[in-house]
Structure 1
Amino acid sequence: MTVSISSLNNRFFITTICTFLYIASLFPQKPLERQKDMLQQYSGLWYSSIDAQTDSIAANPLLRMTNTPTMDKSAMFVTVEQWKDGTYDPILSEFIGYDIKTNAIIATGQNGLGEMFHGEGSFSNPDNWHMEDTDMLDNKILLVDFKFYDQTDVLVTGTTPEHKKLWSTRYVKQNPKDKNIGIQLVSVHKQMQLNPDKILRLLDRLGYSFIETFVYKDRGFYGFSPSEFRKMVNDNHLEFRGSMTFYDLPKNGEDWDKALQWWANCIDDHLSAGVEYLTTSNTNLKDLDSLEELRAYCRYYNIIGTMCAEKGLKFAYHNHADEFLKIEGKTIYDFLLKNTDPEVVSFQADLYWMHVGKADPVDYLKAFPGRFFSWHVKDYQELGESGKMDFSRYFEYADTAGLQYVVAEVEDYSFPPLFSVERAWSYLYYSIL
């Protein structure tokens, strides 16, 4: 990606962006290959579309399907409800899971008539899933085919054992947003560069409430003006709440004038985009030799924070791992926390990078209450799956920290990025929040 802010800050900006993008290159994504992984596309909250030829949904969709994951995401409880007389009434209940012995998808359920059934089948590829249902007398009663247009859009067709079509229903996923989960768009960076409107639509369907960007340059986002990008985000039922922005510490008077003008423009542009908070980070910490150099950054962040506050924006410092190095016997992160003004400078706790830096997030959440209004929730692989991060414990201190913005982030992919991003939402929604 070619980036530039100004000749003064080109190197700093590129270095910072690479901090976000380098890790992903070390963990190349894999295609969906296992039956249990392909099955997870079916989890979530789904509504029937107006008809099978469109993904448009009526104000009161005829069918609502709730597929709640369980058993470490290898199975799910399924409830299908039908809209009738102003409410949804259940017409089918089912348990679907992956059987490790047969490498098959197995289902057991009951329809609205009280009839039990058993189903068995498999995915031929991530887009196509076939099931064959029998009644409890072992009579074949139904063939069901699932065609995934993407992980949020599936056509379900039922036929007789003789392959006579009985019905066809298209479902569109719309996971709930009541827990206000955000996503850092570095998680889908390549996809956003190719088709931002489509990716924002998918993120909305996956259940994300808001986005955070890291690509502000040339006074815009992904090649769009602030107002254009805001409209695109809002049209896809998302909010644009946070943005990571980068401009290095000025060295002299002339550079200061440029820096302050850059920040003034940056703040105005983000206000036009509807953003609520800005964050910044520092990739130069390893090069610092004295606390006085670090103190200069604290003064700089106080100035930026004041400029933001005067315009109604929040400002926060985002950590990586270098903040937990020491200068003159002092931990850098502690020094930043103690020497910035809490009235105008908050902190965005990146829980993953704290862990990499051998720091316990809870120590900071307890020691500096109210300073951490935003967290980046990231893991060594898909969220909650490395076994290294104790997210449940961290979130016990959410109120103490003053947490307002939970931002999921995935950069270490085991699967296609959007699949990994949905697993992150699912983990936060069902296991943490």
Structure 2
Amino acid sequence: MTLINKNSRRDFLKASALATAATLLPRLDLLAAPATQHAGLQLYTLRNELAKDVDGTLRQVAKIGYKEVELFGYNGTYFGKSATEMKALLKDLGLAVPSGHYTTGKVQKGKGTLLDGWKQAVDDAATLGQKYMVCAYLFPQERTKLDDYKEFADLFNKSAEVCKAAGIQFCYHNHDFEFKAMDGQIPYDILLKNTDSKLVKLELDLYWATFAGQDPVALFKKSPGRYPLWHVKDMEKDGDHTFAPVGTGSINFQRIFDAKKTAGMTHYFVEQDQTKGPALEAIATSYKNLGKINV
């Protein structure tokens, strides 16, 4: 039997306590909220993967660390699942769904568009717990003249009224074409001017706005509080300015996130329209690099 004096025992207990604390540090780190804890993903990035395996793909999204997703492709179902089925799946994976993308239905016809089955789309969005419904895109055939944008502004206001009745905010998502002058006017300005600023908010795609030569921060200052949603994607430094995972390109995201209060931002979603390698690897890189930004 080995005898331990008081000093040795005190040193032993101190060393044991330090060792125990050291083993707990990783767990405490896991409990600490990472900077990207509310990072979302626009699922269009994984459209090819979802076409093959919805459940497995969403499981990978959650495994990377994303906590929110933005849906797309609603046509009465979500990738073949009812609103109730999709809600259960997302809940099991710990994924919230604050937003979804939709089209007008003027060119790409089908149920669940602004012009066909909109009330049902709103009801299903409410079932999922969505707080936002976003018109994602205007097809080239839909926007050949300035009057087209004025008509869409009216449609957005009407669609937004239906959303409002269900406690949902309507938004419009930009690309670059809205910033190209048409008959001496900027279509984006027409949409902003002719829509009710409370009924119709904006989801700013940071890549496309930058690609069009716009400064996101300047847009926020011009219409403060009107940009609750953002799409976060980076731009390659090459001559073509192609899409890139967040943190690997040329966009200064810290400067933009520093203006989030001016924008009124509540949710942001990683999106990469096209990826050079596996899409899951790209979104994992974006998630990791968002952790280096004070969001």
Question: Which range, TM-score by smaller chain?
Answer: 0.7 to 0.9
Counterpart of 2:82, as a letter, is: S
Matched, 1:186 2:52: no
Q: CA deviation at 1:411?
A: 3.2
Is the contact made by 1:279 and 1:348 (CA closer than 8 Å) also made in structure 2? yes
- The DSSP-based 3-state class of the residue aligned with 1:198 is helix
Distance (whole Å) between structure 2 residues aligned to residue 238 and residue 232 of structure 1:
9
Counterpart of 2:267, as a letter, is: Y
Specify every segment of 5 or more residues in structure 1 that has no aligned partner in the other structure, as ranges. 1-83, 94-171, 251-257
**Structure 2 CA distance for partners of 1:285 and 1:302, relative to 1, 3 Å:** farther
Match of 2:233 in 1: 378
- Structure with the larger RCO, 1 or 2 (CA within 8 Å, 6+ apart): 2
Q: CA deviation at 1:249?
A: 4.8
Matched, 1:311 2:166: yes
Matched, 1:297 2:159: no
Counterpart of 1:236, as a letter, is: L
User: Paired residues, what number?
Assistant: 261
Aligned pairs for 1:105-120 within 5 A: none
Q: CA deviation at 1:421?
A: 0.9
Cα shift readout 1:190-249 (whole Å, capped 9, x = no counterpart) = 2222222222222222111110011111x1111111110111011111112211011235
**Structure 2 CA distance for partners of 1:88 and 1:422, relative to 1, 3 Å:** farther
**Structure 2 CA distance for partners of 1:415 and 1:261, relative to 1, 3 Å:** closer
Q: Which of 4, 22, 26 does residue 90 from structure 1 map onto?
A: 22
**Larger mean Cα displacement after TM superposition, 285-294 or 300-309:** 285-294
Matched, 1:220 2:87: no
Please report the TM-score for the alignment, with normalisation by the length of structure 1. Answer: 0.56
- The DSSP-based 3-state class of the residue aligned with 1:202 is helix
Match of 2:95 in 1: 238
Aligned pairs for 1:75-86 within 5 A: none
Aligned pairs for 1:393-412 within 5 A: 393-412=255-274
Q: Which has the higher helix share?
A: 2
Is the contact made by 1:249 and 1:300 (CA closer than 8 Å) also made in structure 2? no
Q: CA deviation at 1:330?
A: 1.4
Matched, 1:349 2:213: no
Is the contact made by 1:285 and 1:322 (CA closer than 8 Å) also made in structure 2? no
- The DSSP-based 3-state class of the residue aligned with 2:219 is helix
Is the contact made by 2:35 and 2:293 (CA closer than 8 Å) also made in structure 1? no
Distance (whole Å) between structure 2 residues aligned to residue 269 and residue 330 of structure 1:
37
Matched, 1:279 2:134: yes
Instruction: Report sequence identity in percent.
Output: 28
Specify every segment of 5 or more residues in structure 2 that has no aligned partner in the other structure, as ranges. 1-15, 108-112, 235-242
Is the contact made by 1:184 and 1:407 (CA closer than 8 Å) also made in structure 2? yes
Match of 1:390 in 2: 252
Is the contact made by 1:410 and 1:424 (CA closer than 8 Å) also made in structure 2? no
Q: CA deviation at 1:289?
A: 5.2
Q: Which of 369, 383, 394 does residue 224 from structure 2 map onto?
A: 369
Distance (whole Å) between structure 2 residues aligned to residue 371 and residue 179 of structure 1:
23
Cα shift readout 1:363-417 (whole Å, capped 9, x = no counterpart) = 111100000000000122111212x212111111111000001101123424322
Match of 1:7 in 2: none
Aligned pairs for 1:32-111 within 5 A: 89-91=21-23
Distance (whole Å) between structure 2 residues aligned to residue 228 and residue 287 of structure 1:
33
Please report the TM-score for the alignment, with normalisation by the length of structure 2. Answer: 0.80
Cα shift readout 1:26-74 (whole Å, capped 9, x = no counterpart) = xxxxxxxxxxxxxxxxxxxxxxxxxxxxxxxxxxxxxxxxxxxxxxxxx
Is the contact made by 2:174 and 2:204 (CA closer than 8 Å) also made in structure 1? yes
Q: Which of 67, 84, 108 does residue 209 from structure 1 map onto?
A: 67
Q: Which has the higher strand share?
A: 1
Cα shift readout 1:168-210 (whole Å, capped 9, x = no counterpart) = xxxx9x9958631100111222222222222222222211111
Is the contact made by 1:382 and 1:414 (CA closer than 8 Å) also made in structure 2? no
- The DSSP-based 3-state class of the residue aligned with 2:251 is coil
Counterpart of 2:251, as a letter, is: M
Cα shift readout 1:149-182 (whole Å, capped 9, x = no counterpart) = xxxxxxxxxxxxxxxxxxxxxxx9x995863110
Bigger Rg over Cα:
1
Is the contact made by 1:371 and 1:402 (CA closer than 8 Å) also made in structure 2? yes
**Structure 2 CA distance for partners of 1:412 and 1:224, relative to 1, 3 Å:** same
Is the contact made by 2:71 and 2:100 (CA closer than 8 Å) also made in structure 1? yes
Matched, 1:416 2:274: no
Counterpart of 1:185, as a letter, is: L
- The DSSP-based 3-state class of the residue aligned with 2:291 is helix
Counterpart of 1:215, as a letter, is: G
- The DSSP-based 3-state class of the residue aligned with 2:84 is helix
Match of 1:24 in 2: none
Q: CA deviation at 1:279?
A: 0.3
Cα shift readout 1:240-293 (whole Å, capped 9, x = no counterpart) = 22110112359xxxxxxx965511111112112222211013334576454333
Distance (whole Å) between structure 1 residues aligned to residue 69 and residue 220 of structure 2:
24
